[in-house]
Amino acid sequence: MAYDKDNIFAKILHGEIPAVIVYEDDQTLAFMDVMPQSPGHTLVIPKTEAEDLFDLDLEAGAAVLRTSQRLARAVQEAFGADGIMINQFNGPAAGQSVFHYHVHIVPRFDGVPLRRHSGDMEDTAVLEEQAAKIRQALD
Bridge partners of 70, per DSSP, are none
102 is catalytic: yes
Contact of 50 with 101, CB cutoff 8 Å: yes
Pairing, β 28-32 against β 21-24 = antiparallel
Amino acid at 125: A
> Of 14, 41, 100, 102, which one is the catalytic site residue?
102
Can you tell me the distance from the alpha carbon of 67 to that of 54, in angstroms, rounded to the nearest whole number? 19
The residues assigned a catalytic role are: 102
